[in-house]
Amino acid sequence: MKALQGKVAVVTGAASGLGRAMALAFAGEGMHVALADVDEANLARVADEVRARGVRAHARRVDVSRGEQLEALAQSTVAELGGAHVVCNNAGVSPLGAVWENTVADWQWTLGVNLWGVIHGVRAFAPRLLAQDEGHFVNTASVAGLISPPGMGAYNVSKHAVVALSESLYHDLAERGSRVGVSVLCPAYVPTAISDSERNRPAELANPRKEKSAEQLAKEAMLRKAVQSGKISAEEVAQAVVAAVKDERFYVLTHARIKPAIRARMEDILEERAPRNPLAL
């Protein structure tokens, strides 16, 4: 999509971090923005920031793990803003731990938000974008969708699935001759609040394990430090997303220094050897 002004962007996870940055970046292009998140207080503030850029905003509380709420968002976006063109399935959470340490609740929460949130977003908006033969999906994965760092198995699984879903979506649209585009965003560490995503975990998926192991606590501290030390800001990533939409570019890799680890994984696959630890390369 070359021309964005006057069109409508939809952003999930819009109350903070990359979602907020993308919402403001698209507003800066003259797009009206539909914003979704479970954090209603911060969502309202971001909506005001969007309106301050001279465009309209539609804010709605949405739990992306629930398909009916994404369908309701699609309906209300069309009703309030007149359509939908760029759909950013961005909401995400990041519990840590070895794959056998994560509880069933951890897995359900992670896959519900990170994977099912994207599935529901595609299912809700794809028929509308296909009908108008115009639009673009931006699915937020991670470099953890291209490599598999230790200590974050549930997150890795969800993000690898988002990459696979996005690639499949691209092929399905191309097979039908659709002009609807797809991008998959795979950033590394960006200073956001994702390391504190536990604050938004629903009560019914609360972790039944009352105490975390010393190893889990240490990994959480390391993640929090790495996220906050990220050299590329959320605003820079958002501008890369805008450029990818305009250029109709599929893979959006914002951190060039991670590419050797991606290459190493691909080489390990082709050479049929055991995977190397991407954090040790």
Q: Which tens digits make up the pLDDT trace of 149-168?
A: 999 999 999 999 999 999 99
Tell me whether residue 93 is in a domain: yes
CA 79 to chain centre: 25
Residue 14 and residue 108: Cα distance in Å, rounded? 22
Tell me whether residue 158 is in a domain: yes
**Is 262 within 8 Å of 146 (Cβ atoms)?**
yes
**Count of domains for the chain:** 1
Nearest to 1 by CA among 279, 248, 265, 255: 248
Low-confidence ranges of the chain (pLDDT < 70): 190-197, 199, 205, 208-230
Tell me whether residue 2 is in a domain: no
The pTM of the full predicted model, rounded to 2 decimals, is 0.89
Quick check: is 251 catalytic? no
**Is 135 within 8 Å of 84 (Cβ atoms)?**
yes
Residue 204 and residue 217: Cα distance in Å, rounded? 23
Residue 219 has what pLDDT? 58
**Is 142 within 8 Å of 187 (Cβ atoms)?**
yes
Which residues does residue 9 pair with via DSSP β-bridges, in sequence order?
Answer: 33, 86
Look at the block and give the residue holding tokens 């007149």. 82
Q: Which amino acid, one-letter code, is at 40?
A: E
Tell me whether residue 1 is in a domain: no
Within 8 A by CB and 6+ apart from 143, the residues are 186, 187, 188, 253, 255, 258, 261, 262
- Written as one string, the DSSP assignment of 144-204 is GGTS--TTBHHHHHHHHHHHHHHHHHHHHHHHTT---EEEEE-----SSSGGGGGGG--GG
Residue 157: CATH number of its domain: 3.40.50.720
Candidate list 155, 170, 189, 251, residue with the active-site label = 155
Tell me whether residue 79 is in a domain: yes
Instruction: Quote the domain boundaries for residue 56.
Output: 8-280
Tell me whether residue 41 is in a domain: yes
Tell me whether residue 225 is in a domain: yes
Tell me whether residue 77 is in a domain: yes
Residue 216 has what pLDDT? 63
